[in-house]
Structure 1
Amino acid sequence: MNESLISPFNITHPTAVQTSLFASALFARFDPSGRYLGVGGTNGTAAIWDLETRARIRWLEGHVKAVTSLACAPSLRNSSRVLVPDTSSIQLVLELSMIARHKISGAGTLKGLDFAKSGRRLVTNSSDRTLRQFSLPTYGAPNPDGEFLDEELEPTHRFNDPINKTAWYGMSYSPDGEWLAGGAADPASHKIYIWDISNDGQFASALDGGREPLWHPSKSSIASTTNHGNILIWHCPNPERWGAFAGGFEEVDENIEYEEKEDEFDIEDEEEILKRKMKAEDEEVDIDTMAEDTTRRDTQPDKMDVEDEEFIWADQDAEDAEEFRMKILMQDESEL
Structure 2
Amino acid sequence: MNAQIIDPLQGDFPEVIEEYLEHGCMKCIAFNRRGTLLAVGCNDGSCVIWDFETRGIAKELRDNDCSSPITSVCWSKCGNRILISAADKSLLLWDVMSGNTTSLKVSVLEVSNNGATPASRNKCADGITSFSPTAACFSKNGNLVYVGNSKGEILIINHIDNEVRAMVPIPGGSVVKNIVFSRNGKYLLTNSNDRIIRIFENLLPLKDEVRALVDLNENLNDLEGVEKLKAVGSKCLTLFRELQDLITKVHWKAPCFSGDGEWVVGGSASKGEHKIYIWDRVGRLVKILEGPKEAIIDLAWHPVRPIVVSVSLNGIVYIWAKDYTENWSAFAPDFKELEENEEYVEREDEFDLIPETGKVKESDVNEDDEVDIVTVEKDPGFSDSDMSEEELCFLPATPTCDVPEQMDKFIESSSKLVDSNNSGSPLSEEAGPNEHTTNHNSSPLEDDAWGTRAKRKRKPSEKVLELQAEKLKKPSKSSKASKFKTKPVVDEDGSNGFYGDEFSDE
Query: Do they superpose with TM above 0.5?
Result: yes
Look up the match of 2:290.
Answer: 208
Once residues 50 and 99 of structure 1 are traced to their aligned partners in structure 2, the CA distance between those partners, rounded to angstroms, is: 36
Q: Which has the higher contact order (CA 8 A, sep 6+)?
A: 1
Cα distance, 1:45 vs structure 2: 3.3
Task: Give the share of equivalent positions with the same residue, in percent.
Answer: 28
Q: 1:172 aligned to 2:172?
A: no
SS at match of 1:213: strand
| Structure-2-length-normalised TM-score | 0.42
Task: Please say which structure displays the higher CA radius of gyration.
Answer: 1
Once residues 56 and 17 of structure 2 are traced to their aligned partners in structure 1, the CA distance between those partners, rounded to angstroms, is: 17
Look up the match of 1:231.
Answer: 317
Aligned length, in residue pairs: 244
Inter-CA distance 37–114: structure 2 relative to 1 (3 Å threshold) = closer
Stretch moving more, 5-14 or 212-221? 5-14
Unaligned runs of 5+ in 1: 250-336
Once residues 166 and 42 of structure 1 are traced to their aligned partners in structure 2, the CA distance between those partners, rounded to angstroms, is: 25
SS at match of 2:214: coil
Q: Give the letter aligned to residue 214 of structure 2.
A: P
Once residues 274 and 306 of structure 2 are traced to their aligned partners in structure 1, the CA distance between those partners, rounded to angstroms, is: 20
Match of 1:188 among 259, 272, 278: 272
SS at match of 1:212: strand
Q: Give the letter aligned to residue 118 of structure 1.
A: N
Once residues 91 and 155 of structure 1 are traced to their aligned partners in structure 2, the CA distance between those partners, rounded to angstroms, is: 27
Once residues 220 and 124 of structure 1 are traced to their aligned partners in structure 2, the CA distance between those partners, rounded to angstroms, is: 22
Inter-CA distance 56–123: structure 2 relative to 1 (3 Å threshold) = closer
Stretch moving more, 60-69 or 10-19? 60-69
Look up the match of 2:5.
Answer: 5
Cα distance, 1:214 vs structure 2: 0.8
Look up the match of 1:117.
Answer: 183
Look up the match of 2:60.
Answer: 59
Once residues 73 and 172 of structure 2 are traced to their aligned partners in structure 1, the CA distance between those partners, rounded to angstroms, is: 31
CA contact (8 A) 1:187 1:227 kept: no
SS at match of 1:142: helix
Once residues 154 and 46 of structure 1 are traced to their aligned partners in structure 2, the CA distance between those partners, rounded to angstroms, is: 33
Q: 1:160 aligned to 2:244?
A: yes
Q: Which has the higher strand share?
A: 2
Inter-CA distance 107–213: structure 2 relative to 1 (3 Å threshold) = same
Q: 1:47 aligned to 2:13?
A: no
CA contact (8 A) 1:25 1:230 kept: yes
Q: Give the letter aligned to residue 186 of structure 1.
A: S
CA contact (8 A) 2:82 2:93 kept: no
Look up the match of 1:33.
Answer: 34
Once residues 170 and 179 of structure 1 are traced to their aligned partners in structure 2, the CA distance between those partners, rounded to angstroms, is: 14
Inter-CA distance 89–167: structure 2 relative to 1 (3 Å threshold) = same
Once residues 101 and 81 of structure 1 are traced to their aligned partners in structure 2, the CA distance between those partners, rounded to angstroms, is: 24
Q: Give the letter aligned to residue 33 of structure 1.
A: R
Unaligned runs of 5+ in 2: 85-91, 95-100, 106-158, 206-211, 221-230, 339-506
Cα distance, 1:146 vs structure 2: 6.1
| Structure-1-length-normalised TM-score | 0.61
Once residues 167 and 76 of structure 2 are traced to their aligned partners in structure 1, the CA distance between those partners, rounded to angstroms, is: 27
CA contact (8 A) 1:97 1:142 kept: no
CA deviations over 1:123-166 (Å, ceiling 9, x no partner): 22222211122334456452263625464977443211233311
CA contact (8 A) 1:191 1:211 kept: no
CA contact (8 A) 2:104 2:162 kept: no
Look up the match of 1:220.
Answer: 306
Inter-CA distance 123–33: structure 2 relative to 1 (3 Å threshold) = closer
CA contact (8 A) 1:98 1:142 kept: no
Look up the match of 2:218.
Answer: 145
CA deviations over 1:282-310 (Å, ceiling 9, x no partner): xxxxxxxxxxxxxxxxxxxxxxxxxxxxx
Cα distance, 1:107 vs structure 2: 5.7
